[in-house]
Structure 1
Amino acid sequence: MRIIFGLLALVVALVIYAFRIEPFLLRVEHVEYGSAQSQTKLKVVQLSDIHISKAFTARRLEKVVEQVNAQKPDLIIFTGDLFDDYDKFGASEEPELIEKLSQLNAKYKKIAILGNHDHYSAKTRARKVLEASDFRLLSNEGVNLTIDSQRIFIGGLADSLSDQPDIDQMMAMRYDADYTLLLTHEPDVADDLTDFNAQLILAGHSHGGQIWVPGRVRNALSKKYVNGQYQLANQTQLYVNSGIGTTMIHARFGVVPEIAAITIHL
């Protein structure tokens, strides 16, 4: 009986942790790419999968804003899924959400793409919120920047589950880039991007599995690449961000919400 009660107590403790503790944690994952001997460094902070919902309100972004700004980023990148289900819980959060996202400070630019949840219920609203918060929203588009004489192309692909991604259209906007950074919400799409001389791809969507258990179910188009760093073909690197919010089951276990602080040595 002691063993049984002990096991029951452990299960209850794990459930409490998964629903009431881990989703409220936040870690900063530091990643570096390129040669450390390079004279030019680009500090990119990646956010993904905020999933504004009843379980994750705009107010909870205060800690996110504080941690992002503490990194003193040159660029802030958001790789999709701002809302979880806008129709159920979204409109009332818009004013405070814009207020919090507007407080994110980047030296050069704030860039975003949409995710599948944004399209399912809030494509127009997600776009308006991000643009009102000073994000440049990309959909099969790209921007060309020059930073310390280095020409950088940042391309954002339309969502692959709910929109019409067009890689050729996106890449047609690249001009003589020294460094190419591509954004896709779904990480498994990265294999389609390795023939374009891209040094780095950033993705989200997977939530890192969200609840880590053996044999866990993985999201569509995040079955191959789930979390962290991957080396792809043609010397292309992929980083999959495990995100901040939750979906369906509003719990996390073994996958602490993250901000990725990425230093790129150009």
Structure 2
Amino acid sequence: MNPRFVVIIAVLLLVFGLINYYVGWHGALWLESALHIHPGPIYWICFWIIAFSYLLGRLGSRFLPRSAANFLKLIGAYWLAIMFFAFVMLPFADLAAGIMALLRVPSSTYIPVLGMVVAFLIALLMLRGSWNARNPVIRRYEATIAKSAGERKKLRIAVASDLHLGSIVGNKQLQLLVDRINALEPDLILLPGDVIDDDIEPFISRRMGSVMQQLRSRLGIYAVLGNHEYIGGHIRQFTEQMNEIGIDVLLDRSVLLEDSFYVIGRKDKAVERFGSQGRLELEPLLADVDKSRPLILMDHQPYGLDKAESAGIDVMLSGHTHRGQMAPNHFITRRLFELDWGFLKKGALHAVVSSGYGTWGPPVRIGSRSEIVELTLHFEG
């Protein structure tokens, strides 16, 4: 194993452990001050099991019953959101506690109150965040392409990125996606990566393909890989599953539809780390493409908008960012990407980055929504 990778994992686990200890210490302090319960070993054993249950659920799938591993993963996923919100709020609670201590307010008065306030706010965020994740919205964008698409003057595309299908985003949420997309009656359906959440086993065992097979469009369904398909590592098995239900996975490949416009799919940038073969640069990928026709590109991670624009791409569809999924993470994604969410016209390029349909980790969204994109293109060439 790569020593650098081992060091990175060790540092991440250390940071994760310290954050959890910070949260757990505050929980113990509140129990002692508010309920006069002294948290002993049982408290800390239970706490650390919960804190690491998401990781235990992922690793435990190899030696635990599938139901037990999924239960641990679900508990851990919700804990990740609680831990995150607590870590954001507790410094403000500590500041308030420091001010009250300076004012000589008894700790037996302010610690229970501050703890209840923080717990109440976290509960509100969890409820609202779960609703945001379970109730998708339709984002509508329109763009005019200064090219001819033959007889076609308008194209309606349904776009759903980052489904993250697995043990947390399951068939109920997938059926809702199918129903919402079919209600749009799109000409074309595009899935820009992260269709599954690492492990392909839940997709197969829960027969999610039979639900996805209900998707309907006039011109077909096309997908690309995201980083999570590469993390899971079952690329061939995934593409076979998709092909069986009529979804064409484009791996550095283009298709000409109606002899009018191209749909182009890139391998995800993650292939550089997880795959045995790299991905083509845009110019070689477009070598056999007629650039006088509209070019629609799917590239999971929204990097290189300038390169796409200079290469003659008309529409670039991406996901990956989740718009941070839980605020204030959107401030980070905004700094990492030229466009982390929404629509941007850059020269002749029309870029769309979706916040995604599913969720990674906690099925919770704050500051972002689960979404399906309806993109209407007008051709004027």
**Short-chain TM bin:** 0.7 to 0.9
How many Å separate the matches in 1 of 2:191 and 2:220? 11
How far apart are residue 216 of structure 1 and its match?
Answer: 4.5
1:195 maps to which residue?
310
Given candidates 264, 278, 287, the residue that maps to 1:155 is 264
User: Which of these residues, 258, 265, 268, is aligned with residue 146 of structure 1?
Assistant: 258
Residue identity (%): 22
Is the 1:46–1:78 Cα contact (8 Å) retained in structure 2? Answer: yes
| 2:147 pairs with 1:29 | no
Task: Indicate conservation of the 8 Å contact 1:56/1:245, yes or no.
Answer: yes
Structure 2 residue aligned with 1:42: 155
d(CA) in 1 for partners of 2:329, 2:221: 37
2 CA distance for matches of 1:78 and 1:205? 12
Bigger mean CA offset, 67-76 vs 241-250: 241-250
Q: Cα–Cα, structure 1 residues 186 and 222, in superposed 2: closer, same or farther, change >3 Å? A: farther
**Number of matched pairs:** 257
Q: CA RMSD in A?
A: 2.6
Separation of aligned partners in 1, 2:292 and 2:217: 21
Gaps of 5+ in 1: none
Using a 3 Å threshold, how does the CA distance of structure 1 residues 155 and 222 change in structure 2: closer, same or farther? farther
Q: What is the SS of the residue equivalent to 2:310?
A: coil
User: Which digits, 9 at most, give the CA deviation of each residue in 1:199-239, with x for residues without a partner?
Assistant: 111111111211121665439x953321001122x321100
2:357 is the alignment partner of 1:235: no
1:225 corresponding residue in structure 2: 339
Following superposition, the deviation at residue 89 of structure 1 comes to 4.1
Runs (4 or more) in structure 1 with deviation over 3 Å come to 1-8, 87-91, 214-219
1:17 maps to 2:128: yes
Instruction: With a CA cutoff of 8 Å and minimum separation of 6, indicate the structure with the bigger relative contact order.
Output: 1
- Counterpart pick for 1:129 among 241, 244, 252: 241
- Change in Cα spacing, 1:195 to 1:226, as seen in structure 2 (3 Å) is same
Gaps of 5+ in 2: 1-109, 273-277
1:76 aligned partner: 189
Change (3 A) 1:249 1:223: farther
Give the letter for the 2:166 counterpart.
Answer: S
Query: Does the Cα contact within 8 Å between 1:206 and 1:222 map onto a contact in 2?
Result: no
Q: Is the 8 A contact 2:323 2:329 kept in 1?
A: no
Deviation of residue 175 (structure 1)? 2.5
Specify the SS of the correspondent of 1:182: strand
Deviations 1:87-119 (A, max 9, x none): 6744423x2x11111111010121111111111
Asked which structure has the greater CA Rg, the reply is 2
Structure 1-normalised TM-score?
A: 0.87
Higher helix share: 2
C-alpha distance in structure 2 between counterparts of 1:117 and 1:206, whole Å = 13
Question: Is 1:172 matched with 2:301?
Answer: no
Instruction: Select the structure that is richer in strand.
Output: 1
